[in-house]
Structure formats: structure tokens, C-alpha cells
Amino acid sequence: MSEDQEKLVSEVEALITREDGSQVKIRASTCYNINGHNSAWLDVFRRENNSAKWKLCSDRKHPDWRTMSVYRYVREGRSEQLQYATPGEILKTISMLGKPVTHVVEGN
């Protein structure tokens, strides 16, 4: 298959197990808007252990986030997604979108 015909990653999922046994699943996929521009769709799930059911994390900030101190915002104002997955983990997952499949499978 030539370079211009190579398949690109359109959906990726990362499973992260924390030291306490809880797990976070980050799912990112490519989507296209009405103008044909692509963007990423992101979902973050969490569960207490590997036998518990997955729970979808909200992407909404605390309703009073604008009036919170920085310290309080970091502890309880961020969206549930950012409370359970770090920005680095999210960016690492999203950065795989659009890359050649062989590039991601090989771990480059």
C-alpha cells in the first residue's frame, strides 16, 4: 500500500490502571463537522476496579468555577474528565488520531 493510500487512525482507546486498582479509559475518535473539517471527539470513563461497571465522566466544570480560588478549582472545580485523566494522558491519546495505523501499532 502506498503512502497516500495508507489507512489513518480514526479511533483510539487508552486504558490506564492506577496504583489503587481503579481504571480510566480514554476514547478519542475523529469526526467531521458540517464544513468537512475534522476534529476529535473525546470520552473519558472510570471505574473503581476491573470488575466494576464503567461510568462516563462529565466534561462540565463545577457551576461555581469562576468564583473559586485556584486551589479550590484544582481540587473540585475541574470537569470530571480532568479529575480522573490528566491533560497529558488525554493529549497522548488524541495525538494518535490521524497517524498511519502502522505507526501507532508499532509504537512509534
Confidence bin at 106 (pLDDT 50/70/90): low
β-sheet with 11-17: strand ranges across: 11-17, 23-32, 38-47, 55-56
Tell me which residue range forms the domain holding 20: 3-56+86-102
Q: What average pLDDT does the structure give for the chain?
A: 88
Residues 35-57 have a mean pLDDT of 92
Cell 465522566 belongs to 57
In a domain, 11, yes or no: yes
User: Which candidate, 45, 79, 46, places its Cα nearest to that of 62?
Assistant: 79
Residues 73-84 have a mean pLDDT of 92
Cell representation of residue 53: 461497571
Confidence bin at 6 (pLDDT 50/70/90): confident
In a domain, 73, yes or no: no
Cell representation of residue 45: 470513563
In a domain, 43, yes or no: yes
pTM above threshold 0.85:
no
54 Rama class: left (phi>0) / alpha (psi -120 to 50) / beta? beta
In a domain, 96, yes or no: yes
Backbone phi, psi, residue 51, to 5°? -105, -5
Q: From CA 96, how far away is CA 100, in angstroms rounded?
A: 9
Residues 12-23 have a mean pLDDT of 96
User: How many domains does one find in the chain?
Assistant: 1
For 48-65, write each residue's pLDDT tens digit: 999 999 999 999 999 999
Handedness of CA 60, 62, 68, 73 (dihedral sign): negative
Residues 68-77 have a mean pLDDT of 91
